Structure 1
Amino acid sequence: MAQRNRTAQGVLAALLAGTVALTACSPPTSASGSANSGGSTKALTVWLQQKPDTASALLSGTYGNSEILSVTQDQLVSVAADGTLEPRAATKWNLSADAKSLTLNLADQKWSDGSPFTADDVVFTLNLYTNPAVKSPLTTVLKPIAGYDEVASGAAKELSGVKKVDDHTVRIDLKNPDVGFMYTLFGATIYVLQKAALSKEDPATVASSQIWITPGKVPGLGPFTLSSYVPGQRAEFAKNPNFRKPVEFDRMVQTLVTQDVATQQLSSGEMDVALVAPTDVATVQGMQSKGVGTVSNEVPGFDRYTVNQRKEYLKEPKVRQGLLTAIDRVGIIKSVYAGQAKPINSSFTSSKVVKDGFATYDYSPTKAKQLLTEAGWDFNREFVIREVNNNAQRQAIDQVVLKNLQDVGVKATIKPVDQAQVTDMLTKGDYDIFLYGGGNYTADPSTNIPMITCANAFPKGANLPAYCDSKVDDLLSQAATSTDEAKRGQLLTQAGKLENADVSHLWIAQPTRVYAFSSKVTGGVRGGDGMFNMLMSVQDWKVK
């Protein structure tokens, strides 16, 4: 499932985004080849991390869908890997002193079709995401906005709390004070959509429509426009002449190959930018003589298993404590991540939550079996680990976890699931644990709300495991209304400590991602959690 790496989408997105399918196919023509070659034009070939389907801005995105969207569409504000808020379609933002109103000043720019971008587009966008007919899983991010409940129930057609002040200013009024709302809004991958184009579409079908992968159908605010799409092979893009700043190259091709092939093509010059597997980092660093450079960063999300707490036998925290204690996470980090990760013990990765005193769940088969026995675990019950096809790294993690659980007596088994069936599997609850990753939780702990609060239990929201602790919810609600940062920090830390004790997920690791780029790219490349996230900096790349 998810993550365009940012938040609330965060988890559903994280789900699809984090379950990258490294689909194999024959290497398509690179940007330096003959396909659509512009002679003297500057062009780059980048790795398409996963096969796209609809590339819909209204749905939680797989890595493949998000790679297309990250260069053709844009957000109001983005959250960088280090938690910094960065202006995009909005140049300024201001939360009122009472934390009940967020004012956005918009960039003076045009859509890719040359028409002006105005506040009307932002008002339309937020209402479209909220429209119950659209059924966007990202709508939960907008719940704090005044009028949300009325629109969600069908009693109103528009959010009363979203107002156009003038052509370049929008004000969002909230139902209650909410200090963290802007972090949740900006951290989610809610793309600003053009009213003129999308208002013509049927809300009931627009989210799954083919318009998103049809060149010329959906104007965008991104640095590129989609010029060609070949399912299962590649997507091609041309520079958007109306983007708010000059982009240094004319054409980009995203090609779908396996990750090992992408690495090989870095050496041959057929690939210009790719995410490097942890076990291949040393190999890629050895390509420096060929002009290949690297950039790395600790990702703002993390890899974890959702534990299906809709099942009675997984609702007991001591069961989840036992399962987590049974997993050799240090060994996984050393072998599967090649040391390029660190263990975590809470979904709250923001520094605003103080982790002193949090349980660390160190690997101990003896203690794990003791905890499971005390919790009344049935050691004859089949325990199903669902695994997405064609993801070598996650398959390697699953194999370690499978053996770890079997070693403590859990009757664990792995059952594969096709990427296209993941959402259906999660909706039906046809699993015990399932590995996924992504999200952006560094900016503020409020970004964790969609993934751990009771009201956001999947499929209504992005809380995949359906974890629910009313005390955690209450503490997060109190923190949202507190404008006293010290008090807010205390409340958030209390919530984090409870979630740590509850073991909402089976946390595996917070990875460091390494990206490689050819000698064509001379600067401006920044990391992220996946290719789509790294492409958020594409407008800043220096290309020769």
Structure 2
Amino acid sequence: MKLKMIASALAISAALLSAGAVSMAPAAQAATLSGGFDVGPGGFQGNFNPLAATAGFTWLSVYFEPLVSYDEKLQKVVGALADTYEVSPDQLTYTFKLADAKWHDGKPFTSRDAKFTIELAKDAKSGSVLAARLKAVASVEAPDEHTLVIKLSAPSASTLDTMTKVMMLPEHALASIPADQLAKNSWWSTTPIGTGPFKFTKYVTDQYVELAANTDYRGGKPALERVINRYFANPAAAIAALRAGEIQFTYVDSNDVSTFKGDEAFKVIEGDSFVVNYLGFNHDSPIWKDIRVRKAVMYAINRDAIIKSLYGGAAKPANCAYVVDQLVPQGVDTYAYDPEKAKKLLEEAGWAQINGDKPITLLTYYTTPLATNVLAAVQAMLAQVGINVVPRAVDTPTYNSIVLNPTPDVAQFQMVYAGLQNGPDAGSINVGLNEKQIPPAGPNVVRARMPDLNKALDSALAEPDASKRVAHYQDVCKVMNANLPWATLWVANRYGVVSAKLKDFTWTPAPGGGPYQAHPEKWSIAE
């Protein structure tokens, strides 16, 4: 695939989207911040249930809160609804001392709510995407109203990371709803209550959500009166709204950044996405059984050309789930672009008999113009070596319903183009690769069954000494690089653009949108 072809794909996509649909929006009001908080990877969830969310935490954390959260630099876990927390030396007991907080309806937040939430998050029947991550939780105790104790059956290094994603929910409002009816209950989009600095007021279907200041917030009265989340048909429409002053923030793709740099009316925020993008082989499909076929896919894709031309250089090639230097051991195969080698491997494997030119469904939930162009480039490159993939982009709920089905139709997704966290906690990838996490147990959607990989992941999560854990994650990298459960591609930078009028606004390009300490109560707009 020549760079000229890739650039052409970009131009065509940009032209098609130049007239993107514009959402209806509420009239502008004083002290109101509007943003495209859910534009970008993962997109609009379709509901507002934090237990079922795989993205959108930048928005959800404005009105829901977890016990603990990352700081805004994603370097350490700090208290949120828990004032403090302690981990026992054997890393089996986690004790949280809870803050004096109130729900938006005025009732007190207590350890009963925290216990209720974690037990709900553990229950896969609730639709929780966190259930697999909480399997090590043996018990949850509430010895008094302001103390919560979580006990594990075995040490799990990712427990705190998982807890940053468990948004606390009100027992008194949800306990009467059966767990298996909770995921799509109308409560999330009509009358939800949290403990955050803003409280839910209304949702206009597929248009916007409006929140009002929680004047009783324990962190003080918010500076803004309202925060509004606008929904857009595509990123181009969100960018148009930003330039028109209709919104003050949105996520943007790397290829849009150059149009804002140097413009004093806006500020570009850049950071590591901590998400590795990959082509995931469905290991239940017989066409990927031969390692030579999986290696051929790696050699067939000119990752450097795609990164340079489509990402504008704003990505790093990934040869396993990690790109952080300390987690990538010396000597891993870089799978440099070599289409002739790919053809030779396919010939040796008998690709003509295995599949030949039969179309292979490549499923993805990435629907941005950038992703469309990336997949067009990948499709062309694989076609050059004799692998015929057909991209199919769907919304996130549809994607999840297909790949998480315990007995999926293999033809619907012989391959996926997806992303999974490789940080800030390196253990995050366990749920996507460990054999114990194959659906319905967890989100190992590629159905990877690799004993060496399971062993490396289990050893890393069970290692109580953080200094020794790095070596285990290097083992994970080695096994991934050699056995290729995925064809790892890159880790891209992520970008947001904000109006220069915004003050004290914190946005971090975190995986899934966080959560992290964004302090929405401090956000304000200069007159």
Change (3 A) 1:236 1:114: same
Find the aligned partners of 1:459 and 1:225 in 2 and give their Cα distance. 34
Change (3 A) 1:27 1:341: same
| Aligned counterpart for 1:302 among listed residues 263, 276, 287 | 276
Change (3 A) 1:134 1:27: closer
Change (3 A) 1:346 1:541: farther
Find the aligned partners of 2:213 and 2:18 in 1 and give their Cα distance. 27
Find the aligned partners of 2:511 and 2:395 in 1 and give their Cα distance. 20
2:258 aligns with 282
Task: Specify the SS of the correspondent of 1:437.
Answer: strand
Find the aligned partners of 1:145 and 1:134 in 2 and give their Cα distance. 17
| Aligned counterpart for 1:224 among listed residues 175, 198, 222 | 198
Question: Which ranges in structure 2 are unaligned for 5 or more consecutive residues?
Answer: 1-16
Whether the aligned pair in 1 keeps the contact of 2:362 and 2:415 (CA below 8 Å) is yes
1:514 aligns with 495
| Structure 2 letter corresponding to 1:176 | A
**TM-score by structure 1 length?**
0.84
Q: Report whether the alignment pairs 1:103 with 2:95.
A: yes
Aligned positions of 1:43-122 closer than 5 A? 43-47=32-36, 48-49=38-39, 50-63=43-56, 66=57, 68-79=59-70, 82-122=74-114
Change (3 A) 1:532 1:198: same
| Aligned counterpart for 2:231 among listed residues 256, 259, 271 | 256
Change (3 A) 1:23 1:508: farther
Whether the aligned pair in 2 keeps the contact of 1:125 and 1:195 (CA below 8 Å) is yes
Q: Report whether the alignment pairs 1:167 with 2:141.
A: no
| Structure 1 letter corresponding to 2:417 | L
Aligned positions of 1:99-498 closer than 5 A? 99-146=91-138, 161-178=139-156, 180-186=157-163, 189-214=165-190, 217-246=191-220, 247-257=222-232, 258-288=234-264, 291-349=265-323, 353-377=327-351, 378=354, 379-388=356-365, 390-417=367-394, 419-426=396-403, 427=405, 428=408, 429=410, 430-439=412-421, 441-498=422-479
Structure 1 residue 23: Cα displacement: 12
Change (3 A) 1:140 1:419: closer
Q: Deviations along 1:323-380, whole A, 9 cap, x unmatched?
A: 1221111111112212211111111355652432222111111122222333332323
Task: Specify the SS of the correspondent of 2:183.
Answer: helix
Structure 1 stretches of 4+ moved >6 Å: none
RMSD, matched Cα:
2.6
Structure 1 residue 131: Cα displacement: 3.0
Find the aligned partners of 1:540 and 1:319 in 2 and give their Cα distance. 53
Whether the aligned pair in 2 keeps the contact of 1:333 and 1:340 (CA below 8 Å) is yes
Once the two structures are aligned, what percentage of the paired residues are identical?
Answer: 24
| Structure 2 letter corresponding to 1:43 | T
| Structure 2 letter corresponding to 1:310 | D
Q: Deviations along 1:108-127, whole A, 9 cap, x unmatched?
A: 21111121111111111111
Whether the aligned pair in 1 keeps the contact of 2:86 and 2:96 (CA below 8 Å) is yes
Whether the aligned pair in 2 keeps the contact of 1:227 and 1:238 (CA below 8 Å) is yes
Whether the aligned pair in 2 keeps the contact of 1:267 and 1:287 (CA below 8 Å) is no
Find the aligned partners of 1:61 and 1:22 in 2 and give their Cα distance. 29
Whether the aligned pair in 2 keeps the contact of 1:350 and 1:442 (CA below 8 Å) is no
Structure 1 residue 381: Cα displacement: 3.4
Whether the aligned pair in 2 keeps the contact of 1:81 and 1:300 (CA below 8 Å) is no
1:3 aligns with none
Whether the aligned pair in 2 keeps the contact of 1:309 and 1:315 (CA below 8 Å) is yes
Change (3 A) 1:450 1:83: farther
Structure 1 residue 270: Cα displacement: 1.6
| Structure 1 letter corresponding to 2:103 | W
Change (3 A) 1:539 1:360: farther
Find the aligned partners of 1:478 and 1:509 in 2 and give their Cα distance. 25
Find the aligned partners of 1:220 and 1:530 in 2 and give their Cα distance. 22
Task: Specify the SS of the correspondent of 1:373.
Answer: helix
Change (3 A) 1:438 1:454: closer
Whether the aligned pair in 2 keeps the contact of 1:248 and 1:541 (CA below 8 Å) is yes
Structure 1 residue 466: Cα displacement: 1.3
Structure 1 residue 139: Cα displacement: 0.5
| Structure 2 letter corresponding to 1:500 | N
Q: Which moved more, 1:197-206 or 1:252-261?
A: 252-261
Change (3 A) 1:459 1:391: farther
Task: Specify the SS of the correspondent of 1:400.
Answer: helix
Change (3 A) 1:211 1:350: farther
Whether the aligned pair in 2 keeps the contact of 1:45 and 1:272 (CA below 8 Å) is yes
| Structure 2 letter corresponding to 1:447 | S
2:3 aligns with none
Structure 1 residue 138: Cα displacement: 1.7
Task: Specify the SS of the correspondent of 1:300.
Answer: strand
Question: Which ranges in structure 1 are unaligned for 5 or more consecutive residues?
Answer: 1-20, 147-160
Whether the aligned pair in 2 keeps the contact of 1:388 and 1:418 (CA below 8 Å) is yes
Change (3 A) 1:415 1:296: closer
Structure 1 residue 105: Cα displacement: 2.0
Whether the aligned pair in 1 keeps the contact of 2:505 and 2:523 (CA below 8 Å) is yes
Structure 1 residue 303: Cα displacement: 2.0
Change (3 A) 1:86 1:325: farther
**TM-score by structure 2 length?**
0.87
Task: Specify the SS of the correspondent of 1:253.
Answer: strand
Whether the aligned pair in 2 keeps the contact of 1:351 and 1:442 (CA below 8 Å) is no
Q: Deviations along 1:78-120, whole A, 9 cap, x unmatched?
A: 2356443232222322221111111122222111112111111
| Structure 1 letter corresponding to 2:118 | L
Find the aligned partners of 1:176 and 1:532 in 2 and give their Cα distance. 29
Q: Deviations along 1:141-192, whole A, 9 cap, x unmatched?
A: 110111xxxxxxxxxxxxxx211132222111111233x04244235x2211
Structure 1 residue 480: Cα displacement: 3.2
Whether the aligned pair in 2 keeps the contact of 1:450 and 1:456 (CA below 8 Å) is yes
Change (3 A) 1:343 1:165: same
| Structure 2 letter corresponding to 1:119 | S
2:12 aligns with none
Find the aligned partners of 1:412 and 1:162 in 2 and give their Cα distance. 47
Change (3 A) 1:507 1:100: same
Find the aligned partners of 1:329 and 1:376 in 2 and give their Cα distance. 25
